[in-house]
Amino acid sequence: MSDGAAPAAPDLDRELDRNRRRIDELDAQLATLFQQRRTHSRRIQDLRTGAGRDRLDGQREERVRARYRAVLGADGDQLAAAILWLCRGGEPGEWTRRGAADEERTAPASGPEVSSGPHL
């Protein structure tokens, strides 16, 4: 299948299932990694506030966002922003609602829909 041609129907279904299973495996790994990241992020926040410092380090967060942008482009910045927000203690549903609200505020009166809101 290296030529990019779509396989016949039975083969197509098997190939779709195989790729979807792999995506599910990757999603499970990502979820575990995000949980670990959030744990460490919250420890750092507790250490910083316990030492009388600000809970967040804007310069550090910008370096994280830059790493994601370097790999994924502009979408990487949005992904990094969502991850950083979640690790600060945000709730995933709130991020989605905030994105929808941002989209409503930034949509032009006419023409194609444009959004500067957080999306994944």
Report the interhelical angle of 74-87 vs 92-106 (nearest 10°). 130
> What are 53-95's pLDDT values in tens digits?
999 999 999 999 999 999 999 999 999 999 999 998 876 566 5
Q: Of 8-12, 63-67, 87-91, 111-115, which gets the smallest average pLDDT?
A: 111-115
Secondary structure of the chain in HEC code, one letter for each residue: CCCCCCCCHHHHHHHHHHHHHHHHHHHHHHHHHHHHHHHHHHHHHHHHHHCCCCCCCHHHHHHHHHHHHHHHCHHHHHHHHHHHHHHCCCCHHHHHHHHHHHHHHHCCCCCCCCCCCCCC
The first and second tokens of residue 112, run together, are 């194609």
112 belongs to a structural domain: no
73 belongs to a structural domain: yes
1 belongs to a structural domain: no
15 belongs to a structural domain: yes
> What are 30-48's pLDDT values in tens digits?
999 999 999 999 999 999 9
29 belongs to a structural domain: yes
At position 22, the amino acid (one-letter code) is R
Distance CA 63, CA 61 (A): 5
The parent domain of residue 97 ranges over 9-106
91 belongs to a structural domain: yes
Q: Write the CATH number for 16.
A: 1.20.59.10
* Number of domains observed in the structure of the chain: 1
Residue with tokens 């380090």: 57
